[in-house]
């Protein structure tokens, strides 16, 4: 009788483990399907913007020097329920080396052809971002040509230097920086 109860206990334990693994695999598949669904329905402009933001986080505003104080929500979150703080600049950083807080709005421009003037954002966005200057300086990080994950050039433009949402290409070229930032 004792051998039978031990066998039954072992059977129950193994059955429980098999069911646990099975349901965990189902959960992982569902998570993967949700991620794939979200990726399929991200519009091209949102994907380009997200990729350029990833580039900035990975290659420019590196973890060892910059703290992220704020980061706007992405398209997949805002698609379900819009988060109003997404109306502000994409990031607020703290530069530990310079003891300096600032906002960054990321914009990528493919510029496959020559243009005299570049529209950085809509005029409404420009005014909204300008209102954040009372808290901390605001910069546009503008990626030019190449790919959003590896642009050929990056310009950092203080919004205080702009009078509206347009900038001439010659003026933009004065703000190109050598990366990584030192």
Q: Distance between CA atoms of 150 and 120, rounded to whole angstroms?
A: 19
Would residue 27 count as lying in a domain?
yes
What does the pLDDT look like over 111-156, one tens digit per residue?
A: 766 678 888 999 999 999 999 999 999 999 999 988 899 998 999 9
User: If pLDDT is split at 50, 70 and 90, which confidence band does 2 have?
Assistant: low
Q: How many domains does the chain have?
A: 2
- Tell which wins on pLDDT, 144 or 75: 144
Range scoring the smallest mean pLDDT among 46-50, 111-115, 177-181: 111-115
Residue 144 inside a domain? The answer is yes
| Same domain, yes or no: 77 and 6 | no
Half-sphere exposure (CA, 13 Å, Cβ side) for 170? Answer: 1
Mark whether 83 and 144 lie in a shared domain.
Answer: yes
Query: Does one domain contain both 102 and 75?
Result: yes
The pLDDT assigned to 39 comes to 61
What span, in angstroms and rounded, lies between the C-alpha atoms of 160 and 157? Answer: 8
Query: Regarding predicted confidence, which is higher, 159 or 146?
Result: 159
- Beta-strand pair 166-168/66-71: unpaired
User: In this structure, are 95 and 64 located in the same domain?
Assistant: yes
The candidate with the shortest Cα–Cα distance to 109, out of 152, 144, 148, is 144
Q: Establish if 123 belongs to a structural domain.
A: yes
Do residues 35 and 54 both lie within one domain?
no
**Residue 140 CB burial class (10 angstroms; 0-12, 13-18, ≥19):** buried
pTM across the whole model:
0.72
Distance from C-alpha of 58 to C-alpha of 92, rounded to nearest angstrom? 15
| Pairwise pLDDT comparison (149 vs 110), residue with the higher score | 149
DSSP letters of 108-137? EE---S--SEEE-S-HHHHHHHHGGGGTS-
Do residue 48 and residue 96 come from a single domain?
A: yes
- What is the extent of the structural domain holding 7? 1-40
Residue 105's Cβ-count burial label (10 Å; 0-12, 13-18, 19+) is buried
Question: Does 33 share its domain with 109?
Answer: no
CATH of the domain at 49: 3.40.1350.10
């Amino acid at each position: 009788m004792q051998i039978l109860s031990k066998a039954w206990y072992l059977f129950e334990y193994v059955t429980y483990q098999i069911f646990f693994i099975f349901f965990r695999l189902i959960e992982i598949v569902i998570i993967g399907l949700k991620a794939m669904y979200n990726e399929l329905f991200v519009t091209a402009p949102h994907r380009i913007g997200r990729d350029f933001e990833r580039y900035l986080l990975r290659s420019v505003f590196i973890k060892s020097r910059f703290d992220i104080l704020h980061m706007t929500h992405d398209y997949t979150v805002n698609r379900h329920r819009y988060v109003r703080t997404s109306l502000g600049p994409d990031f607020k950083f703290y530069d530990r080396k310079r003891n300096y807080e600032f906002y960054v709005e990321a914009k990528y421009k493919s510029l496959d052809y020559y243009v005299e003037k570049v529209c950085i954002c809509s005029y409404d966005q420009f005014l909204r971002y300008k209102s954040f200057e009372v808290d901390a300086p605001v910069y546009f990080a503008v990626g030019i040509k190449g790919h959003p994950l590896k642009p050929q050039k990056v310009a950092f433009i203080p919004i205080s230097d702009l009078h509206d949402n347009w900038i001439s290409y010659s003026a933009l070229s004065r703000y190109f920086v050598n990366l990584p930032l030192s």
